[in-house]
Chains A and B, each alone.
Chain A
Amino acid sequence: MLHISRWMKKEVISIPVNSSIRQAIQLFLDHHIGTLPVVDESNHLVGILRLQDVIDLGMPDFIHLVTDFDFLHGFGAVENQRPDPAIFEKDIKELMIEAVSVHEDAGLFRTAALLHKHALRDLPVVDNEGRLVGIASHVDVGVALLSFWIS
């Protein structure tokens, strides 16, 4: 079996659970990434903060309410809006989703299926104690599978 640990990124950028949204934004900017695993003091995975959840802070409300907005060709006043900066001082706990992870010994298909099921782009990889040891993006996993198919 192809273990995910062979394909994952071992240098993970993670964020301590008691950080603010502003600190998370800085990490997203500095490292140009889309997912931040949230960890406690002993590096146990406790949640996931996705770039899209942070972006949602500034998204217009209607995108969650209308069934489609194909008839809308410009977002007008929305384009000039920024979220209230006070919201950046809030805890990331308010935005993060519950922890989803895969064990480092898991296979590629299990990893791919979990990414698909939870609509994630990156999946944290943990060891036996639930400590964060890596992260596998859907591109890492997909490319690994493709290379296996044509080998």
Chain B
Amino acid sequence: MTLTLSSAVSALLFAICLALIFSEKVHRTIVAVFGAVLMVAFGLMFGFYNEEQAVASVDFNTLGLLFGMMLLVAMLEPTGFFEFLAVWVGKKSKGRAASLLFLLSLVTSLVSMFLDNVTTVVLIAPVTILICEILGFSPQPFLISEAILSNIGGISTLVGDPPNVLIASAAGFTFVDFIIHSLPLIIFVWLSAFAMLSWMFRGDLRQPSPNAEAIQSLNPQEAYTDQPTSRKVIAVIVLAIVFFFLEELLKIRPALVALAAASLALMWIRPNISDLLKRIQWEILLFFAGLFVMIGGIQQAGVLDIFTNLIVQLVSLSPALAGLILLWSVALLSAIVDNIPITITLIPIIQHLILPGSNPSFLWWALVFGAGLGGNGTIIGSTANVVVVGLSERTRLPITSQTWSKRGLPVMLLSLVVISILYLLVFQSFS
């Protein structure tokens, strides 16, 4: 590729925007919107990008799927369903710390496989603190494990994690592809991460509760404030999951399934729409849209070709090695910066790879695992971590970034080692 003025201008603009996003000096959504507008303006000025191309580069599949799922979660949120789950498993633990850790982590992870894990953690973590306080436990091991394990759980399905939604849309992966290629591997990773967390927190978990019988004073049914609405939303979510499985057979996109499910639930429940829309994470949708437009610009200007060529060369040396390098570099980057811009930047690079005699599926899966697992290493690596830490800062035992690094970093490294071994073992099945 020859360095043209267009590619230089667009690359510089994108680099400045990324630096601003990662510095967190300006909110990432503001940077994305501002950067998108500038990219189109420069594109028109230098002739590498126009309005039509900008609109075409927005991945409405991703936005539609995320928006549909957000609507469903927003309808489920005020029903007390999440609180009910946490209180219910809390009671099932009979006040034993090890069982409580396992059950709370499991339920958070299972819910995160299908629903936004940030909402899940936002609603389950306060109840976790409540249960810990009445039992006389420190909430820290429980909060850290919930965030880390729900992040891992989310990697197993197409709808579990925003990077998965992005990658599936670009790679053409279906819900079933994730169940076949990601879920089995993630089960191993989850179990090894859980084992390591239980070992690291063994001191806390061995302590018997001074008030184990206090768990009996919890009434899960009373936490479940709006069961009729909750049942309707859950029925619709289950229906959506069934249709996700039928995606290939019916030739429909997951975005349509999610939006259809959300519309059905809206019609059935008829919630107060302005209250509901306040619970939608608009800043995330807008952030995605802005990044799509920016990435479309640098792609049109030919900037990404350099990286595409670099990966082609790596793959020609050894495909498996190229996959592992991608997985680890994405993971390590995701530990320090937001994994969404990383994923959105890498997508067009991998999308335009022309590999002799193979398809780039193995690189897509490397991206899924790297982006998903990297966030666990640091306090700012994933939104769930930020939420849990934010809550703990309002308690007497705040989780510090040292505490997180001491627990999260080893778990992240272990899960990356485990996924790398599994990745190599099943490598053939990816292509």
Chain A residues with a Cβ under 8 A of chain B: 60-62, 64-78, 80
Question: Which residues in window 51-104 of B have CB below 8 A to A?
Answer: 83, 87
Q: Which of B1-9, B122-130, B194-202, B308-316 contacts A (4 or more CB under 8 A)?
A: B122-130
Q: Residues of B contacting A60 with CB < 8 Å?
A: 130, 133-134
> In the complex, A64 Cα to B395 Cα: how many Å?
9
B391 within 8 Å of A by Cβ? yes
- Which positions 193-250 of chain B face chain A at CB distance < 8 Å? 209-211, 213-223, 225
Among B133, B211, B214, max chain A CB count under 10 A is at: B133
B134:A72 contact, CB within 8 angstroms: yes
**Closest B residue to A66 using CB positions:** B126
Q: Which of B87, B214, B225, B395 has a CB less than 8 Å from the CB of A77?
A: B214
Q: Does B394 contact A (CB under 8 A)?
A: yes
Partner among B126, B215, B396 whose Cβ is within 8 Å of the Cβ of A65: B126
Tell me which residues across on chain A come within 8 A of B215, comparing CB atoms.
76
> A69: nearest residue on chain B (CB-CB)?
B130
B391 to A75, Cβ gap below 8 A? no
Establish whether residues B211 and A77, one from each chain, have CB atoms under 8 Å apart when the complex forms.
Answer: yes
Q: Which of B210, B214, B219 contacts A71 (CB 8 A)?
A: B219
Q: A71-B219, A74-B217, A77-B214 are in contact. Are A62 and B136 (CB under 8 A)?
A: no
How many cross-chain pairs have Cβ atoms below 8 Å apart between A and B? 74
Residues of B with C-beta under 8 A to A65: 125-126, 129-130, 391, 394-395
Q: Any chain A CB within 8 A of the CB of B301?
A: no
Least CB distance from A68 to B in Å reads 8
CA distance A70 to B211 in the complex (A): 19
A73 engages B217 (CB within 8 Å): yes
- Chain A residue nearest to B133 (CB atoms) is A60
B386 smallest CB distance to A (angstroms): 16
Residues of chain B from 395 to 413 with CB closer than 8 A to chain A in the complex? 395-396
- Compute how far the CA of A60 lies from the CA of B135 in the bound complex, rounded to whole angstroms: 12
Distance A72 CA – B220 CA, assembled complex (angstroms): 9
Query: Within the complex, what minimum Cβ distance (angstroms) separates A83 from chain B?
Result: 9
Closest beta carbon of chain B to A102's beta carbon, Å: 32
Residues of chain A within 8 A of B135, CB atoms compared: 76-77
How far does the Cβ of A10 sit from chain B's closest Cβ, in whole Å? 40
Instruction: Find chain B residues with CB under 8 A from A80 CB.
Output: 210-211
A60 and B220 CA atoms in complex are apart in Å by 20
- Give chain A nearest CB distance to B168 CB in angstroms: 34
Cβ contacts under 8 Å, B136 to chain A: 76-77
Q: Is the CB of B395 within 8 A of A72?
A: no
Asked if B133 and A71 sit within 8 Å, CB to CB, the answer is no
Alpha-carbon separation in the docked complex, A35 to B134 (Å): 29
Per-position contact with A for B378-401: 1 when CB-CB < 8 Å, else 0? 000000000000010011100000
Bound-state Cα–Cα, A80 to B130, Å:
15
Given contacts A66-B126, A69-B130, contact A74 B395 (CB under 8 A): no
Given contacts A61-B133, A71-B222, contact A77 B126 (CB under 8 A): no
Establish whether residues B219 and A75, one from each chain, have CB atoms under 8 Å apart when the complex forms: no
Tell me the bound Cα distance from A116 to B36 in angstroms.
48
Residue of A60, A69, A76, A80 with most chain B CB atoms under a 10 A cut-off? A76
Distance in angstroms from A70 CB to nearest chain B CB is 6
30 A-B residue contacts at CB 8 Å?
Answer: A60-B130, A60-B133, A61-B129, A61-B133, A62-B126, A64-B394, A65-B126, A65-B130, A65-B391, A67-B126, A68-B225, A69-B130, A70-B222, A71-B83, A71-B220, A71-B221, A71-B223, A73-B219, A74-B214, A74-B216, A75-B134, A75-B214, A76-B134, A76-B136, A76-B213, A76-B214, A76-B217, A77-B133, A77-B135, A78-B134
Within the complex, what minimum Cβ distance (angstroms) separates B93 from chain A? Answer: 13
CB distance from B267 to the nearest CB of A (A): 27
User: How far, in angstroms, from A65 to B219 measured CA to CA in the complex?
Assistant: 18
